[in-house]
Amino acid sequence: MARLFLYIVSGLVGLAILGGALLYVFWDEAQMVALAQMKPETSLADAPKAPAPDYAKAESWAARPGADDNARVTPQGVEPLSLMEADVFFIHPTSYLGTSYWNAPIDEPQATASLPSILKAQASPFAASARIFAPRYRQASFGAFLAANSDTVAALMLAYSDVEAAFDHYLREDNKGRPFILAGHSQGALLGSFLLKNRINGTDLADRMVAAYLPGWTFSSVQDLGALPDIGACETALDTGCMISWQTFGEEGDPSYLVDAYNQQFGLSGLMKAGTPMLCQNPVTWERDGAAPASQHMGAVPPAPTPDAALPAPINPGLASRCGDDGFLYITPAPGEPFTRFLLPGQNYHVYDIHLFSMNVRANVRDRIAAWYESHPSAALDAAR
């Protein structure tokens, strides 16, 4: 875990991604005071600590085969897909906004209340084609990201320790040699990159991994991917064993505050990211640094209005998309409602990175699993038996 400390510093400095955005929004003094009050009430050493999850117990999973009702939903009016012989390990983003914990217990009411909506919106495109395993974990709280100090690093290390334990349990008890997809968003994407570095790269798991879909975090093509020589970046829609990421802005958006944060981050290599290109794949063409006309966009899926509600039907906002020279994904026109409630400064659609391309993700996951089996004919024979 000592080496991991340096990698998680990338997360610590990357907190400016969220913290800087929030300061941009909450510019009024009264609002700034309210924002400051969202930080954990005590130091991490004095804060209550929840026990580590036991991943042998069903309640330690937000979704798994037989208990995946929220993740295995289909947008209204869309034909369900049959499952293929593959798995998805999905790491959910931050859902705890309280101040009592640096790391939320997996059964903390606020943290768990939004998980059904998150799984419906973000996990369902991946789970449409494969069995899904989504662990609950002692996530670093929203307030921990605002603190940006050594307690933040410790909170992220604890969150990662749970994710790694869940992944190891999944491999030991459930995987049975099947190909798998690694997926996560925001905090989940960051923690997923640590799995790539510490558990997948340099092992036979790299060959079994269909792809790692990790949108919502700033990854360096040099200082992050350079530390993953067995994985690398996906270049096309059917590449396998590789990594994918994007961060969505409006065409006139201003990601300068994220660029500033990126330039202060350490990568998985332990070296600074400043001056290195940011990873961006277009989630319509799936090409690295690609662009796509609106005609290729297959549809966005709005958030479910309540955690218990059905997933709405896809809508087509006519989005054209392109990876900019700065490594961010730009869309036009503005998608409008219902994708504005959590719009961040500079036309940052961070919360909706997956929602906006849900149908393209859904189709690509299936195509990429099929491509993995084409390149592994003996595995295809085993799956058919």
**25, part of any domain:** no
Residue 69 has pLDDT above 80, yes or no: yes
Alpha carbon of residue 6 to chain centroid: 21
276 belongs to a structural domain = yes
Domain count, the chain: 1
For 241-300, write each residue's pLDDT tens digit.
999 999 999 999 999 989 998 998 889 999 999 999 999 999 999 999 999 999 999 999
Residues 103-126 have a mean pLDDT of: 94
Q: How does the average pLDDT of the chain come out, rounded?
A: 89
| Range with the poorest average pLDDT among 72-86, 99-113, 145-159, 306-320 | 145-159
* 24: in domain: no
Report pTM.
Answer: 0.92
Please give the pLDDT value at position 384: 52
Q: Does residue 347 belong to any structural domain of this protein? A: yes
Longest dimension (CA), the chain: 65
Burial letters 320-342, b for 16+ CB under 10 A, else e: bbbbbeebbbbbeebbeeebeee
- Containing domain of residue 193, as a range? 36-384
**Of 232, 255, 231, 239, whose CA–CA distance to 287 is shortest?**
239
Is 5 a member of any domain?
A: no
Rounded Cα distance between 185 and 199, Å, is 19
